[in-house]
Structures are given as C-alpha cells and as structure tokens.
Structure 1
Amino acid sequence: MVKEFDSVWDAIENDQVQAANLKLRARLMMEVADYVKQSGLTQAEAAKKLGITQPRLNDVLKGRIEKCTIDRLVNMLSAVGYKVNLEISHAA
C-alpha cells in the first residue's frame, strides 16, 4: 500500500508542528529566491537590499532550510517591499 502525503515535509517529518514550520519556511525561501532571480541583481546586491549578508542569502538560495527562520525570511521580503500575509485555518 502506497501512502500519500500533502507535501514532502509531511512525508519526511513525523511531527506535524515541525512539518508546518518547514512548509512555511520553504515557501518564504522560494519567494526570496524568486525575488533574486527576477531582480537581476548579484547575490551581493540582492543581499544588501534584503538586509542580510551574501553568505546568508546563499544559504537561502541553496535551500539550507535549517539556517533560515520564519522571522528572518519575513524581514527579508518586507525589506524589498513584499507584504507577507498569513492564513490560518483549523485542521479537521
């Protein structure tokens, strides 16, 4: 029998709380990566606009999720004019 999951994070993380945190961080990291790609800036230039160092931006772009916190990712996006919204619903 094949078990299906809503996301890769649900598949690799048994703790639902941790899986939810990883999903949110991954989504924010993708937005940062999209910003950098679309901006045409170098990593150093983009990092400066995001309010972080180039090595920290490299961590985001390389998918090093363990080095990224939700608050830091939200701050990065806010620094370049993104508005981050949160939707909350009760899981049945």
Structure 2
Amino acid sequence: MSAQEKYMESSGNIFKDLGFKQPEEMQAKAQIAYHISQIIRHRHMTQKEAAAELGLTQPKISNIMAGRLDGVSLEKLMLLMMKLNRDVEIVIKKKPRTRKHAHLNVVYA
C-alpha cells in the first residue's frame, strides 16, 4: 500500500461508517428487507404476487427488494415478516458494562 492510500476499519455497520443518521435503524431495516426478499425469491413469487399477498403495490415491493427503504418503517417491515408467516420477537435487555452505547440488532433464526 502506498503512503497516499488510506483505509478505515469498518465498524460492522456500513451506514455508521458512511456517517448516516440513525445507522443502527437503517442496518436493521436493510437486514429485514433482505430476508423479506429472500423469502419472496424462495417462494418463486413475482413482485406482483408478493405485493398482493402483502397488501402493497408492486413498486413498493420492488423498492423493498432493492433496499430502497425511505418511507418504510421498521415496524412496517416487521409486519410484512408476520404476513410472510414469520414470528417477530423483540427482546430488550440491559447493555453490558463493557460496551459504551446500547445497540439495535436483528437476529434471523
């Protein structure tokens, strides 16, 4: 690596690394949208079929599947997962003392 090349170690959240506001929420939304897309693809559904099943328009499904999530709340994505027959469990716990800030994490089981 030359002296001019610079790099930054990732925090594990691309939205945080790029300086976005509310990066943990953005990452959680992206993770859930990814899994929604995977379920739709696994079921071999068209976007039009998925839209009908989920009560959305085809363009909205297209946006979600492409990761364009402006105007889509975390709550809405969780409700879509439930419509896709997935249980959504929210667990709130005290953060460890070893970590400075609390965080939001999505676990897909």
Using the size of structure 1 for normalisation, the TM-score is: 0.83
- Give distance in 2, aligned partners of 1:13 and 1:2: 15
Q: Percent identity?
A: 20
- Cα distance, 1:37 vs structure 2: 0.6
Superposition pairs of residues 45-64 of structure 1, within 5 angstroms: 45-64=49-68
- Give distance in 1, aligned partners of 2:29 and 2:69: 7
Mean Cα deviation higher: 64-73 or 21-30: 64-73
Change (3 A) 1:87 1:61: same
The C-alpha deviation readout for 1:11-39, integer Å capped at 9, x for no partner, is 11254xx0111011011100111011101
Cα RMSD (Å)? 1.9
State whether structure 2 residue 17 is matched by structure 1 residue 11: yes
Give 1:12's aligned amino acid.
Answer: L
SS, match of residue 56 in structure 2: coil
Return structure 1 stretches of 4+ with deviation > 4 angstroms: none
Figure out how many residues of one structure are paired with residues of the other and give that number. Answer: 90
Instruction: Assess if the C-alpha contact under 8 Å between 1:28 and 1:73 holds in 2.
Output: yes
State whether structure 2 residue 74 is matched by structure 1 residue 70: yes
Using the size of structure 2 for normalisation, the TM-score is: 0.71
State whether structure 2 residue 41 is matched by structure 1 residue 37: yes
Q: Structure 2: where are the runs of 5+ without partners?
A: 1-5, 100-109
Q: Quick check: which has more Rg, 1 or 2?
A: 2
Instruction: Assess if the C-alpha contact under 8 Å between 2:15 and 2:26 holds in 1.
Output: yes
- Cα distance, 1:88 vs structure 2: 4.0
- Cα distance, 1:51 vs structure 2: 2.2
Mean Cα deviation higher: 63-72 or 29-38: 63-72
- Give distance in 1, aligned partners of 2:62 and 2:18: 24
More helix by share: 1
